[in-house]
Amino acid sequence: MDHVDITYRLRRIGKTQADIAHTLGVSPAVVSNVIHGRTTSFSVASYIAMLVNQDITTLWPDKYVFKPRANQKKRNI
């Protein structure tokens, strides 16, 4: 899904980027940048995903994929 689809879905439910920014206490530019994939913010992306009833990885498949940390050697303390 691209930024046009996300924006369209938000408009269909009556939400603007300014509404989201106000609700989350961030600037509208942050919301726009997240929607366009220029920056990441898990809280903003999660909220948008919830609003449009989609999984965050469906909206931004390359941005919010959590990988387990590599095995680290145990330290003897």
> Which pLDDT value is given to residue 33?
97
Half-sphere exposure of 64 toward its Cβ, with a 13 Å CA cutoff?
A: 19
pLDDT digits (tens, 9 = 90+) for 37-59: 999 999 999 999 999 999 999 99
According to CATH, the topology of domain 3-59 is 434 Repressor (Amino-terminal Domain) (1.10.260)
Domain ranges of the chain: 3-59
Long-range interactions of 61-66: CB distance < 8 A, separation 24+? 63/37, 64/40
Cα dihedral 12/29/50/38 (nearest 10): 110
Residue the block writes with tokens 């965050």: 56
> Which pLDDT value is given to residue 75?
61
| Confidence bin at 1 (pLDDT 50/70/90) | confident
